[in-house]
Structures are given as C-alpha cells and as structure tokens.
Amino acid sequence: MAPYLHYTALALLVILASSPPSDHVVAAPSHHRPVGMKSLHFSFFQHETINKTGYIIVNGVPGKGVVSQTTTPFGTIFAFQDPMTVTANRSSKLVGIAEGTSITSSLDGLRSISIAKITLDLKGHKGSISVVGGTHNIKPSDHPVVGGTGDFMFVQGTVTSSPVELEGLTVVYKIEFHLYWPPYAMKT
C-alpha cells in the first residue's frame, strides 16, 4: 500500500507542476491596504501651543546640547490637549481634539514615548482613537492604533504624525489616519 501512495503523490506533483498558472492572483496586503477590511484614510492638522494647549509637567535632565526649539531634556513629561483642524491654518474648521502625554526617552531630546486619545467629530464618524508609540520630534512617526470608541470601535491601523511647522510658540503636525475594521467588527 505504501508504494501506491508514493506513486499517487508523485503523479499529483507532476500534474500540479505541469498545469498552467492560474489567472486568479491574490494581492498580498500592505500596511496601508489590508485585504478584506473596511478602511478609512484621511488627514488633519494638530496645533500645539506651548503653555496654552501643551505643558511641561516635569522637566527632565538636560544633556549636552539638548537646548533647542525641537528638543526636551531626557525624562521630561509633557501633557497636551490640542485642537485638530482640516488645514494647517489654526482658524480652519475644528474636527477634533488630541489629548495625551509624552515622556522624552532619548538622551538627545528628540524622541519620546507618546500616548494619545484623538476624539473626532466627522460627518458619518464620531468617537475616539487611541494610539501609543514612539515619536520623533522632527521626523514622521508611525503610531499603532490600540483601540477606539463610538464609530471607531474595534478599529486597527496606524496614525502618522509629521511635523509641518516647528518655529514659534505653536507647532503644527500633519496627522494621517490609516484605519481598518476587521470583518468581525462590520455592522450587519
């Protein structure tokens, strides 16, 4: 019986190897386009004004050359409650609030660990998105989405924070949302 199975398996391999390739191709999911998931992609602008919408709660330990507009001393704890608008202009339409905290985690003062809840009031979508991750002060940073409420319940994805304007008391970040809902979270 064993030789019969051996010849059957060999014949099956020969048939599979000689058959023409299928026209049906399944695209591999990318981090911005997972297959089989409802998705939503958009961007807004976060406006952070020092000592108005963002405050240093605990000043960290300054290192060598860590005094600049874009750095904070190692261990600095910063809290914020920033408006989010449609454009980089602060007077454009308010669509949400980003609130959270960050702790400077690099000795050069350029990186921090950030936790934020972004509450949005959009046409067709209301709720909050929670993110956690590492932030670089002068380069784009991807933050994984760890949860959501309201219309963002069960949401997954990333939120990318990119500096737009770093001069002056108010700094502006472009916040790009790449959100996905797994099939089990779809409304029936």
Residue ranges of domains in the chain? 36-185
Q: Whole-prediction pTM value? A: 0.78
CB 159 within 8 A of CB 152: no
Per-residue pLDDT of the chain (188 residues; tens, 9 = 90+): 444 434 433 333 333 333 333 322 223 344 555 566 789 999 999 999 999 999 999 999 977 766 677 888 999 999 999 999 999 999 999 999 999 999 999 999 999 999 999 999 999 899 999 999 999 999 999 999 999 999 999 999 999 999 999 988 899 999 999 999 998 877 65
pLDDT at site 82 = 98
pLDDT at site 166 = 92
pLDDT at site 66 = 61
CB 117 within 8 A of CB 97: no
Instruction: Give the residue among 158, 111, 116 at the shortest CA–CA distance from 135.
Output: 111
pLDDT at site 188 = 56
For every residue of 28-48, DSSP letters joined together read PPBTTB-TT-EEEEEEEEEEE
Structural domain 36-185, CATH architecture: Beta Barrel (2.40)
What residues contact 32, with CB distance under 8 A and at least 6 apart? Answer: 41, 178
pLDDT at site 62 = 79
Kindly provide the residue ranges of all beta strands, DSSP E only, lying in the chain, ordered along the sequence: 38-49, 54-58, 77-85, 94-104, 111-122, 125-136, 141-148, 156-165, 170-181
